[in-house]
């Protein structure tokens, strides 16, 4: 009985994301979300990671899925890792921004703290678009007063020869070797949200 009560008090961390969250092309349990669970356990920070990543998801898809996920999991923290596929599909940046802001508000209204995980597009999208895309995440984080990890793939995508060593053969999705870096990029902000509850 005590064990059940204790389990109920462990805060849930809901991660709504795309293929980078969903462990696309990876062994199950080897992605950054699973590694964050291991880190929580090893550092004795109470938290239960829920991976709600779906490959190819966009901010529109995440916004549609979120209300049911909030009802089901009642998270203390929501991590939003979406936006990369919006760029690939040519969605207007205003739509990406509005969807992310809406997801942040829905999460806060459900009593959760929110961490937005930013993405960047390759340089071939052009300097102007690249800068505007990067700014979307900063704008939403500032306007909604939520946490921000500026770039999930920092220390991976920006390394020379990264495509040869840290990406799968499609040169889009990070491989298993890259996952600890992704987890490390998110960890400080996640830990801060859980510890200051």
Q: Which residues are catalytic?
A: 19, 170, 173
Q: Are 149 and 189 in contact (CB under 8 A)?
A: yes
Instruction: Tell me how crowded residue 163 is: count the other CB atoms within 10 A of its CB.
Output: 14
Residues facing 113 on adjacent strands = 77
- 73, with CB counted inside 10 A (0-12, 13-18, 19+), is middle
- In order of 12, 99, 168, the CA distances from 72 in angstroms are 11, 21, 33
Measured over the CA atoms of residue 129, residue 130, residue 131 and residue 132, the dihedral's sign is positive
Coil, helix or strand for 114?
Answer: strand
């Amino acid at each position: 009985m005590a064990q059940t009560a204790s389990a109920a008090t462990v805060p849930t961390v809901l991660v709504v994301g795309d293929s980078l969250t969903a462990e696309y092309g990876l062994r199950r349990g080897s992605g950054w979300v699973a590694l964050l669970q291991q880190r929580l356990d090893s550092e004795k920070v109470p938290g239960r990671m829920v991976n709600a990543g779906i490959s190819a998801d966009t901010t529109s898809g995440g916004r549609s899925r979120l209300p049911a996920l909030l009802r089901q999991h009642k998270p203390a923290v929501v991590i939003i890792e979406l936006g990369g596929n919006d760029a690939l599909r040519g969605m207007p940046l205003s739509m990406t921004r509005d969807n992310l802001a809406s997801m942040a508000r829905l999460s806060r209204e459900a009593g959760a703290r929110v961490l937005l995980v930013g993405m960047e597009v390759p340089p071939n999208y052009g300097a102007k678009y690249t800068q505007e895309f990067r700014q979307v995440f900063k704008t939403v984080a500032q306007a909604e007063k939520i946490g921000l990890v500026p770039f999930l793939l920092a220390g991976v995508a920006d390394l020379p020869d990264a495509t040869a060593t840290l990406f799968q053969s499609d040169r889009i999705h990070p491989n298993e070797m890259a996952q600890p870096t992704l987890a490390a990029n998110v960890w400080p902000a996640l830990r801060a949200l859980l510890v200051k509850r």
